[in-house]
Structure 1
Amino acid sequence: MPGVRSEPPASGLPELPRIRTARPAAPSMAVATAKAHGGRKAKAEDDREKRRKSVSRGGCGGSALSERRRSPPELEKRRCSWITANSEPLYVAFHDEEWGVPVHDDRKLFELLTLSQALAELSWPVILSKREELREMIDAFYNASVRDCTDKNINRLSRSNGGTLLSEQKMRALVANAKQMKKVIREFGSFDKYCWSFVNHRPVTNDLRHARQVPTKTPKSEAMSKDLMRRGFQCVGPTTVYSFMQAAGIMNDHLRCCFRFDQARSQPKAAEENMRAEIRLGSPASEDSEISEV
């Protein structure tokens, strides 16, 4: 009330000044939302990192999830498991464009047979990196007459065209096989017809899920190997012959989940139709490129 003075406290202690404090303001809705979003983003990043580390390689795929996400679209294709994120580009291209594609050209078949023989000493990536050097040497003997395949020429070509890649045994096998191949062509009309006769002129597709199921030899490769050796071919064991059959598309051993599995099955008929169209248009067709019924 006006004019009334307050009495001092009974205790006689001076009255302390009153300090007014305020509670901290609650965070705004925008700040709270930003913090929550940041937490969810950090958690999502952690989850993705865990998934990347936990991805294991199965029968197909060949590359980690993180690699596929960072790779261009053409590298995101599912491939056979022996193609990995660290595979050489030449090896990947060989898998995507050649391995398992039916071949009907005699010179190409002879090249693939020779490269398959080299697998006993070298790997596919090494062979493919030196392919042009090997191709010059292979072509030299493929085109040479029998009388030109002498020890002198063997030594000369070995020194000038990648002799460090093939052992002396493989070099002599190359010469012997070039000679015998000419005999096979005279008998069958083409090396193509001879090779494909072991599968009734139709590529064999193995329905495989895992790399461990891919055989190293089969009764068909054993039959071809035995006949080749009987004819005088060298370094043509059943395992080497089976590698040749895979590379030449006589056997389609792409795994079922590989993008090349269905393509390899559809290409024989397409290749045959293209060849027939060329013949109808009057394109010259050599004996070596004659295609068999598939």
Structure 2
Amino acid sequence: MSDPPRFRSVLGQTGNKLGSKPPGMKLEKKKKKTNESKDEKTKKPDTPASPTTTLKQCSSILRRNSASMTASYSSDASSSCESLPLSVASSSSCKRPVRRSGSVSSASGTLRRKQVDEKEDKVAAGGGGAASNGDCFVDGRKRCAWITPKSDPSYVAFHDEEWGVPVQDDKKLFELLCLSGALSELPWTDILSRRQLLREVFMDFDPVAVSELNEKKLTSAVSLLSEVKIRSILDNSRHVRKIIAEHGSFKKYMWNFVNNKPTQSQFRYGRQVPVKTSKAEFISKDLVRRGFRSVSPTVVYSFMQAAGLTNDHLIGCFRYQNCCCVDAETATTKAKKKNGE
């Protein structure tokens, strides 16, 4: 009979360790642990940097980088501003420099803006814009910003003597309407240089006489104006003749749009002067309805400026008050005529 099987105890004396394992395994693990402990003892552990020291190092590096970036940035900005001409455009571009990689300190930005503002104030106080405001004329009188000492003498004379003065004559009104219509092709200087020849060709701009002209008689005017403008002058003269028959005069028709009183604008700068207004658009529509040509709102407003229906001289120009006085004298003469009648 065979012997009963022998069972080995699973739990040892400690109660939770394996009762029997190959002794070799335990020895190898112990050796490994002892070796690792020896290596840790021999090696000196790296002491981790404290958070305060790390922050100090990062902040010092950032300060050095920002200082170098600020120095290079300010030098580039100053060199670019100095190379540009001293004008509003250049100063505004220097006020808003392009940002590069990195940060620019707010103190340096405000300092730069203050320097630019001081330069602009010095230029304004020192008369840097004298040429644009007409301060450099020999007579010492200020004119509108678009009139400079380098302007053509005929253009300056037109500004000083005619532009903005209320016109009450039918021939003169028709002439200014025709000249304003030519502005789409020629500047005022060229138109004024040909003005006398145009007067000879178009019978001193008498609308009745011009309406009776034939196109063959206007061959000499081809060298002065384009064919389109010549035909528009002929057609407009016929329509002016109809307006005279309807309203009694071309003057009454035009001045009724502004209630027989010029519009007194009060512009300080040339950029404020418009190229057209709602009133000019209204007049243009009525003229087009009547068959007029080359009478866009821009052309009509140029005519209103030249004929004195609106006083667009800048308030700093010496002609502004003169045109206002002409308007006042016209009103007084009209009142005297009414009282006399």
Q: Structure 1 length normalisation: TM-score?
A: 0.67
Cross-structure match for 1:243: 302
Residue 155 of structure 1 and its aligned partner are, at CA, apart by: 3.5
Question: Is the CA contact 1:113–1:244 (under 8 Å) kept in the aligned structure 2?
Answer: yes
**Cα deviations across residues 229-266 of structure 1 (Å, max 9, x unaligned)?**
00011110000000000000001000010001111111
CA 1:276–1:89 in structure 2 vs 1: closer, same or farther (change >3 Å)? farther
Unaligned runs of 5+ in 2: 1-121
Larger gyration radius, structure 1 or structure 2: 2
Distance 1:202 1:141, change over 3 A: closer
RMSD: 2.6
Asked if 1:224 is matched to 2:296, the reply is: no
Q: 2:166 aligns with which of 102, 113, 138?
A: 102
User: Relative contact order, CA 8 A, sep 6+: which one is greater?
Assistant: 1
Distance across 1 between alignment mates of 2:134 and 2:206: 38
Query: What's the CA shift string for 1:85-134, capped at 9, x where partnerless?
Result: 11111111110110000001000000000000011111111111111011
Which residue of structure 2 lines up, in the alignment, with residue 61 of structure 1? 133
Distance 1:258 1:59, change over 3 A: farther
Is 1:269 the counterpart of 2:334? The answer is: no
Is the CA contact 2:276–2:301 (under 8 Å) kept in the aligned structure 1? yes
For residues 195 and 220 of structure 1, the distance between their equivalents in structure 2, rounded to whole angstroms, comes to: 12
SS of the residue 1:128 aligns to? helix
Any conservation in 2 of the 1:59–1:211 contact (CA below 8 Å)? no
Runs of 4+ with deviation above 4 angstroms: 272-281
CA distance in 2 between counterparts of 1:218 and 1:59 reads 29
Matched, 1:256 2:256: no
C-alpha separation in 2, matches of 1:87 and 1:255: 17
Return the match for 2:175 from 87, 111, 129: 111
Contact 1:102 1:249 survives alignment (8 Å): yes
Map 1:1-294 to 2 at 5 A: 55-57=127-129, 61-64=133-136, 68=137, 71=138, 73=139, 76-139=140-203, 142-144=207-209, 146=211, 148-149=212-213, 153-157=214-218, 159-160=219-220, 162-271=221-330, 273=332
Partner of 2:36: none
Q: Post-superposition shift, 1:142?
A: 2.2
Query: 1:103 is matched by which residue type in structure 2?
Result: V
Structure that is richer in helix per residue: 2
Question: Structure 1, unaligned stretches of length 5 or more?
Answer: 1-49, 282-294
Partner-residue secondary structure (3-state), 2:293: coil
SS at match of 1:144: helix
> What per-residue deviation string (whole Å, max 9, x for no partner) do you get for residues 197-252 of structure 1?
11111100111011011000001000000000000111100000000000000010
Instruction: Check conservation: 1:60, 1:258, Cα contact below 8 A.
Output: no
Aligned counterparts of 1:145 and 1:121: Cα–Cα separation in 2: 22
Residues 1:138 and 1:278: Cα distance change in structure 2 (over 3 Å): farther
- What amino acid sits opposite 2:282 in the alignment? A
Q: Which amino acid aligns with 1:57?
A: G
Distance 1:204 1:275 in 2: 18
Identity %: 48
The offset of 1:79, in angstroms, is: 0.2
Distance in 1 (alpha carbons) for counterparts of 2:206 and 2:334: 27
Q: Conserved in 2, the CA contact under 8 Å of 1:177 and 1:233?
A: yes
**Kept after mapping to 1: 8 A contact 2:178/2:233:** yes
CA distance in 2, matches of 1:275, 1:60: 38
